[in-house]
Amino acid sequence: MTAKWEAVIGLEIHVQLATRSKIFSAASTAFGAEPNTQACAVDLGLPGVLPVLNSEAVRMAAMFGLAVNAKIAKRSVFARKNYFYPDLPKGYQISQYELPIVEHGQLEVVSDGGGRKIVGITRAHLEEDAGKSLHEEFSDQTGIDLNRAGTPLIEIVSEPDMRSAKEAVSYMKKIHSIVRHLEISDGNMQEGSFRCDANVSVRPAGQEALGTRTEIKNLNSFRFVERAIEFEIKRQIRVLEDGREVVQETRLYDAGEDETRPMRSKEEADDYRYFPDPDLLPVVIRSEVIEDIKRQLPELPAEKASRFRLEYGLNEQDAEILAMNKEVAEYFEQTVRKTSADTRRVANWVTGELNAALSVDNLDITSSPVTSDMLAGLLTRIEDGTISGKIAKEIFRSMWAGEGEADSIIESKGLRQITDTLEIELLVDQVLLDNPVQVGQFKSGKDKVFGFFVGQVMKLSKGKANPQQVNSLLRKKLQ
Amino acid sequence: MEELSVRQLAQGLAHRQFSSVELTRHFLARMQAHRHLNAFITEMGEQAVRQARLADQRIRSGDHGPLTGIPLAHKDIFCMQDGKTTCGSKMLDNFIAPYDATVVQKLEQAGCVVLGKTNMDEFAMGSSSENSFYGPVRNPWNSDCVPGGSSGGSAVAVAARMAPLATGTDTGGSIRQPAAFCGITGLKPTYGRVSRYGMVAYASSLDQAGPFGKSALDCAYLLQAMSGFDDRDSTCMDEPVPVYPRKLDRSLRGKVVGIPDEYFSEGLDPEVRVFMERAIAWAEKEGCIIENIRLPNTDLAIPAYYVIAMAECSSNLSRYDGVRFGYRCREPKNLHDLYHRSRSEAFGAEVKRRIMIGTYALSTGYYDAYYRKAQQIRRLISEDFNKAFQDVDYILGPTTPEPAFRIGEKVDDPVTMYLSDIYTISVNLAGIPAVSIPCGIHKGLPVGMQLIGNHFEEDKLLNFAHQYQQATDWHTRCPPGFE
Amino acid sequence: MSISLEEIQKISLLARLHVSAEEAGQYAVDLPGILAWVQQMNKVDTQGIEPMAHPMDASQRLREDTVTETDQRSRFQSVAPSTEKGLYLVPKVIE
């Protein structure tokens, strides 16, 4: 982006709540059932049926609000958002409009420069999800599956506080982390449990008034959010630099083409005609209930990160990475509990070696072939000097490949560190004997050659020699 | 048999003077004999006889209540798995509900026998039962006249002695006005007294189901069986249900009856006024204290009501889109065509008119001026009643400004048609109960009076109505030719 | 007051009702009449009055989060105009 322009981004994130039953009916919310087998009369909008609100959906929305320091409305109201679409059975979506359950929250995110900034959360409201339209199944027809219709959602609306695609992704990741920690959503983006609409506009740097915005709908991965926003910013700048005007419209991101394009079905003018749903009464939450929910809130990522810094002496970055994902944090703490190894070493291994292996194999930490027990066993062996860090990486790869635990691999492959001074001395002598030229260089003052000798000894020992001992023996011999 | 009260019918069944099957066949025969009134959309002869047999078994085994084996008719707005539920619309001409409305379920459990589904204004939108896909319903007192609406078919079924009891729904007077036009008793309960589950919605914040019967006592039995908490309706209140039939014998001495000036203004037919004055005189004689009261916002009730009802219906009727049930146009070219043609071909003119106005009233730029304004006026009207009920037990007045009008007389003039609901509409806005009882006959057409009570005081209303009916015989009058 | 034919068309689009030219002409007469009559509401000042959405001053009852509905697809789809492979069918929608 050229410095001449500034992008302004706000996100609307839809989070499916992990209730067992739907928000207004007693049908199951489980994913992946045969089409329309989990759509009851209420979900289908048959004549005469009525909605009754799920208590768990209300509790989860309040939990989210408390987690982002928002105000929980003592009285919130459901409204109807009226529009026709085949996957919207009643011709209206039950949502919240004037009085949402959550308002005025905030969240700290990583800003572009790597610093911190606060993103405002305007509101989060409860609503029902729509069904799914399947366009590919038939040649000239669209198939409608209403299993998803009525699944509870919270729609989290941010202030237009973000200035780059990266900031938007950072914000979205934080929200994802929070809902996972609260266990109010599975956050599964492939299954659509966590999806995002981005409002993007561009204005000349320094200008206060906002430019015309476009809305990019249904972004269901962090990468797509980043790509779509980046594309859209560039597109809008191009339009403005060409002296044209940005059209306020709804666009879709095409991942294949890596571009956004206008959404055709949204061409007809919308006027949602919101009004309070007469089938539902105002939702009243007493302060005691809010206090109660507050007391039961689990530790949140930000709290966890600061505890990790204090309790384990981690740096800010490691603490935050580990605390971001609930399962990663659990893995880390389990490992710490099972080993005497330095906590910073544990952190390095989890964020480094383990994390890299997981992403190569595209695995979730909960299905890691190296369990926290196994990692703890390995790190203990580094700590007690049985193996070196380098050998440990090799053992880690073996464990990853399913060859067993650290101790048995050390034994079967004979990877125990050589700490016998005599044995190391023999190796050192051998190296000095084999490299007379370098010995000469060292003696004439080229200190840098020292590293070469260490490397050669380690190589000769197949990495098993204790590096400290190698060092001191070499020094002694070369003096 | 058709002149017997519900209590007498129950006694006859209990003492084996006749069986439920005999009773049912008797009423089915009367239904067939009076088909020209067009009171029924669906006659359910076979199922009814089957249900009657079951009821007879229950009576024989001693497992029965006051309504077991008693036939009744349901307004065709209540979803029922047996037969179709049309709501008077082409849209639902092919619709067989996959579930029973709570009211239907409760009455089935009580052992009632369903004779059929009654004709009505399409989606309950109307005051004359002329707006039905199945043709207009005729008033048994004069077949050139309307029976009132929207529950016209149910009122006619009871008035013409085709059913001892019938269910109806009342959104702006749809039980009380046809009860008045047909010379029977009809009660609109407190909003939240009877479950709305399975009752096809017209205007959700106003709709309420209630009973029709020849007398207050008959209505008490039916209301008893219909009422009560239902966890499938968020707006259904968890209030205890009194045993209504046992609450009717109390004296009215010392009760304060409020007479609102606004219900006796210039629009009132002078003959109707005379009957009202007689009823007031009776109440005074019974020891009631008569007080003049004011309900100052009455004239605003009709516009406020129509804005709210039309706004709610425009949204409630969006689900009729030709996708999951109901009418679908032939060979839709695309989605737009599917929606527009299915809805336009299957909705009648009045339904479309209300959807159009309701859509307009909710649209951007108009919401505050129409919908919000109407909801504010609704509060004023509700407060008028709250204030009145601090001083009075009852509010008494005419149910309608005049008796039944002629078929076709008002169809082309929506506003005049809407104005015929002037005395009944405020009650729905406030959510309070009211009963209409016959109190005279003028030029061969019945006149009804309306008694309004405070929230959940149906028992008090039925008490007053019953006492009045002990002293008068208007409720026993049968339309000529239907004896 | 008056309502233009364009406005009638806009409302009919929002309401998904097909309105013929003849009907539109009728609406252009009917609707302003009804709306003008409705505007008698303006004779009372309602500033500061809380709109009343429900006749009862009660709050929403909440249900327990339990699944009690079972699969009734074939029953529900027996009243549907067009289904295949368990899906409701509509003319192709282009997004």
Task: Kindly report, residue by residue over C37-65, the tens digit of the pLDDT.
Answer: 888 999 999 999 999 999 988 999 999 99
Tell me the residues of chain C between 56 and 85 that have a Cβ less than 8 Å away from chain A. 56, 58-69, 71-73, 76-77, 82, 84-85
pTM: 0.90
Q: What's the domain range around C34?
A: 5-43
Is C39 a member of any domain?
yes
Res A182: pLDDT: 95
pLDDT of A389 reads 79
pLDDT given at position B231: 95
In a domain, B282, yes or no: no
Q: What is the DSSP letter of B446?
A: E
Chain B to chain C Cβ contacts (< 8 Å): 155
Do B95 and A47 lie within an 8 Å CB cutoff? yes
pLDDT digits (tens, 9 = 90+) for C11-35: 999 999 999 988 898 888 888 888 8
Could you tell me the domains of chain A?
Answer: 5-291 (no CATH), 301-413 (no CATH), 421-478 (1.10.10.410)
- Rounded CA-CA distance C41/B75 in Å is 33
> ipTM more than 0.90?
yes
Residue A265 has pLDDT above 90, yes or no: no
pLDDT band of residue B35 (cuts 50, 70, 90) is very high
Query: Distances in Å between the alpha carbon of B416 and those of A19, A417, B405?
Result: 51, 102, 12
Chain B residues inside the 8 Å CB shell of C79? 94-96, 98, 324-326
Which chains are adjacent to chain B, needing at least 3 Cβ pairs under 8 Å? A, C
Mean pLDDT is lowest, of A332-336, A432-436, B293-297, for A432-436
Q: How many domains does chain B have?
A: 1
CATH of the domain at B161: 3.90.1300.10
Residue B147 lies in a domain: yes
Q: What is the pLDDT of residue A427?
A: 84
% of residues, chain A, pLDDT over 70:
98
CA distance C90 to chain A (A): 5
Q: What is the pLDDT of residue B43?
A: 97
**Average of pLDDT values for A388-408?**
86
Which pLDDT band holds residue A409 (cuts at 50, 70, 90)?
Answer: confident
Structural domain includes residue B380: no
Q: Is the dihedral of CA B348, B353, B355, B356 positive or negative?
A: positive
Least confident of A247-251, A263-267, A427-431: A263-267
Q: What percent of chain B has pLDDT over 70?
A: 100
B363 closest CB neighbour out of A45, A86, A273: A273
Closest partner residue to A47 (CB to CB) among B79, B235, B364 is B79
- Is there a contact between B360 and C52 if contact means CB atoms under 8 Å apart? no
> Tens digit of pLDDT for each residue in A130-173?
999 998 888 899 999 999 999 999 999 999 999 999 999 999 99
> What ranges make up the beta strands (E) of B214-346?
256-260, 289-293
pLDDT in tens, B87-102: 999 999 999 999 999 9
Within-domain flag for B119: yes
Among the partner-chain residues A41, A86, A281, the one whose CB lies closest to the CB of B98 is A41
Residue A125 pLDDT exceeds 90 = yes
**What is the reported pLDDT for A142?**
95
Over residues A48-59, the mean pLDDT reads 98
Three-state SS sequence of chain A: CCCCEEEEEEEEEEEECCCCECCCCCCECCCCCCCCCCCCHHHHCCCCCCCCEEHHHHHHHHHHHHHCCCEECCEECEEEEECCCCCCCCCEEEEECCCCCEEEEEEEEECCCCCEEEEEEEEEEEEECCCEEECCCCCCEEEEECCCCCCEEEEEEECCCECCHHHHHHHHHHHHHHHHHCCCCCCCCCCCCEEEEEEEEEEECCCCCCCCCEEEEEECCHHHHHHHHHHHHHHHHHHHHCCCCCCCCEEEEECCCCEEEECHHHCCCCCCCCEECCCCCCEECCHHHHHHHHHCCCCCHHHHHHHHHHHHCCCHHHHHHHHHCHHHHHHHHHHHHHCCCCHHHHHHHHHHHHHHHHHHCCCCHHHCCCCHHHHHHHHHHHHCCCCCHHHHHHHHHHHHCCCCCHHHHHHHHCCCCECCHHHHHHHHHHHHHHCHHHHHHHHCCCCCHHHHHHHHHHHHCCCCECHHHHHHHHHHHHC
Tell which of B318, B333, B357, B429 to mutate to test the A interface (max A CBs under 10 Å): B318
pLDDT tens digits along B183-216:
999 999 999 999 999 999 999 999 999 999 999 9
- How much is the pLDDT for A269? 60
What is the spatial distance between Cα A358 and Cα C54, in angstroms, rounded to a whole number? Answer: 55
CB A454 within 8 A of CB A467: yes
pLDDT at A1 over 70: no
Total count of domains within chain C: 1
* pLDDT over 80 (residue A385): no
B374·C41 Cβ contact <8 A:
yes
Q: How confident is the model at residue A268 (pLDDT cuts 50, 70, 90)?
A: low
Give the model's pLDDT for residue C95.
Answer: 67
* Mean pLDDT of all residues in B246-266: 95
Domain assignment present for residue B336? The answer is no
Hey, which residues of B are catalytic here?
Answer: 75, 150, 174
Query: pLDDT digit string (tens) for B55-81?
Result: 999 999 999 999 999 999 999 999 999
Q: Is the pLDDT of residue A77 over 80?
A: yes
Enumerate the residues of chain B whose CB falls inside 8 A of the CB of residue C58. Answer: 192, 237
Q: What average pLDDT is seen over chain B?
A: 96
